[in-house]
Amino acid sequence: MTPFGVRLRELREEKGVSQKEMAEAIGVSAAYLSALEHGRRGKPSWPMLQKILGYFNVIWDEAEELSSLANASDPRVIVDTSGLSPQATEFANLIAERIRLLDTAKLSDFIAQLRNYTAVKTEK
């Protein structure tokens, strides 16, 4: 599953609707929603995200959160390290090669470190 897929399922379950009911309401197939929830589809397009936001009647902060989750939910990531240091290329390749070996706790640690680094870097 992707971060967006997890949240989409949570919202759907909170509302008490099936994939079929939601799919009919926003004009897609239940198979598409299932694939979106399970990470077998890439991030939703902007028009699709707007339909989902409208369906759940979410605004402001929650809409921004869903949009951020959608952007962070592409299951097929390409990292272009051309023009970067050899260490950056090695880092990207090691992640690609070994990500399946990392448990949830270690992944959460790495995510927190990278988010913290990004926040510190943008403050300077």
Residue pLDDT, tens place only, 35-63: 999 988 888 989 999 999 999 998 888 88
| Total Cβ atoms within 10 A of residue 8 | 24
Q: Model-level pTM? A: 0.69
91: nearest Cα among 79, 105, 103: 79
Confidence of residue 93 (pLDDT cuts 50, 70, 90): very high
Domain with CATH 1.10.260.40 in the chain: 3-71
29 pLDDT exceeds 90? Answer: yes
CA–centroid distance for 16 within its chain: 22
Helices (H) and strands (E) counted in the chain, each on its own, are 7, 0
Is 108 in a helix, a strand, or coil?
helix
| Topology, domain 3-71 | 434 Repressor (Amino-terminal Domain) (1.10.260)
